[in-house]
Homo-oligomer: A and B are copies of this chain.
Amino acid sequence: MNTVDQMKLFMEPQSVALVGLTRETGFTSWNALEHLLRYGYEGKLYPINPAAEEILGVKCYPRVKDIPGEVDLAVILVPPASSIGLVRECTEKGIRAIIVVGQGLADGDDEGSRLQREIIRVANDGGARVLGPNTFGAGNAFRNFNSAFVPMDMHRIPIGVICQTGMFMSGLPDFPMVGKGIDLGNTGDIDFSDGLEYFEDDPEVKVILMYIEGINDGRRFLNVARRVAHKKPIIALKGGRSEGTAHVTRSHTGNLAGRDEVYAAAFKQCGVIQANGEEEFNDLSKAFINLPLMRGRDVGIITITGGGGILAADACYRHGLRLAELSPESIERMKAIAPEWQSFANPADIWPPSRIAGHPLGEVLHTAIDSMLADSNIDGLLVIMPGTTPTDVEADPPDAHMSLIGTLVEAFKLTQRYDKPAVLWCYGTDTAATVSLIEKSGRILYYPTMDRAANVLARLNERYQFLNCRDDG
């Protein structure tokens, strides 16, 4: 069976046996069936529990061999010590994909490591592959399927995650990160390369995220990652990077973390983008899904606050970008509406043209966005706006303020016309409403710090460079 067909048994099963399912229900019962029913999973479900007739209205079977039809996937929910016999029963039933949930194997002591090897051997000998052990297993929002024993948020977003911790199956603050997720757990058998090959031509996945503690087959990984990276952005976050943490991964997933420099060099060679923190999973996914790549390193900054423009420029340089030198045309268009004393340049401070020269702010912003995005010296845009919605200005009818916001949002629509990325940062104490209006109006994404906004532009350029340089592989 080829890798993709094998992985489909894990990710898109038509029928699932839940081996050793509890009869308890409710939040702390960790009943995987309860969650699957809530997600609306439409495949066949076979709970295995010799002591139950049915669980949550679904007919139970005493043993795996009693299941009447074919089974794509078995999820072994019992403690590891009992797993080997059940794995053998699964292979005898012809099941070729097995998720082993239990902990305390290679993540535990030496006895656990031995037991894990034995589980994998029995499964492989019987023609099956194992996901885990020590895992939430597989999740696929597009099929309303998730094998995890904790409830998950399921969102059909085009992001595929391959990870060695359940945390990244659950999404991160303010971003439902996982459309499809593969928790490799201890990575006893199924490895990163299997996940990458599954996502490689998957039309439902546009960006691939990996959380890596250790990789089994480095050579295969290099080949597969390099091939897949030419088709889709791959973002990798490495755990156990520092001297003081490398050993800790041993007790988490039984993996030795390996030297950080080796991984960094390998990622670079393959075109895998290395994230430096978990927030980059969110930041870069959003960007690669919604924004065009950045063809060069020259940024145009539009700001309503001079200080913000300077700090944003500092952030750009920190990430290897530069302040673009504006074309004479851009300068001319902006100078036409600026006060005479303003030495109009980049960052473009749009406050004086409005406050001093008296042009409506929406018009000034429109001119700035249009001239900068049309400027061939500029590869991408960073915009700074106030986010506070001063709805409590009493003497002022609310619609006057909304009409100002409306003209600004109208100006942001211009970002849709150009094939250049644009990112936004807002100050003020309540930015959510403004941000949401602006993001909906144009092709521009908000980031919560200027550093993260600049980093996103740099990574959009890093990917452009990778795709447009000759590959030496």
Contact = CB atoms under 8 A, between A and B. Distances in A.
Contacts of A253: 306-307
A426 interface: yes
Q: Which of A167, A176, A241, A356 has the most C-beta atoms of chain B within 10 angstroms of its own C-beta?
A: A167
Contact of A175 (B165, B167, B240, B429): B429
Interface stretch (A66-74, A118-126, A288-296, A335-343): A335-343
A165 B307 contact: yes
Interface in A199-232: 211, 213
Contacts of A274: none
Contact of A108 (B38, B342, B449): B342
Given A104-B341, A307-B164, A241 B314 contact: yes
A170 B309 CA distance: 16
B166 A252 contact: no
Interface stretch (A46-54, A396-404, A414-422): A396-404
A237 interface: yes
A314 B429 contact: no
A323 B249 CA distance: 14
B310 A248 contact: yes
Interface in A319-342: 322-323, 339, 341-342
Given A315-B277, A318-B242, A395 B171 contact: no
B252 A349 contact: yes
A161 to B, nearest CB: 12
Interface residues of A, number: 100
A9 B270 CA distance: 63
A400 B252 contact: no
Interface stretch (A22-30, A89-97, A139-147, A363-371): A22-30
A367 to B, nearest CB: 18
A267 B414 CA distance: 43
A387 interface: yes
A213 B345 CA distance: 18
Contacts of A153: 388, 428-430
Contacts of A388: 153, 170-171
Given A396-B27, A400-B28, A449-B277, A431 B341 contact: no
A32 interface: no
A202 B197 CA distance: 63
Given A109-B343, A151-B390, A175-B429, A305 B26 contact: no
A176 B25 CA distance: 44
19 contacts: A26-B393, A26-B397, A103-B339, A111-B341, A153-B428, A153-B429, A165-B306, A165-B307, A166-B307, A167-B307, A177-B429, A243-B317, A245-B317, A248-B323, A251-B343, A252-B349, A277-B450, A278-B311, A279-B451
- The 6 tightest CB contacts between A and B, nearest first, are A165-B307, A108-B341, A242-B317, A252-B306, A171-B429, A167-B305
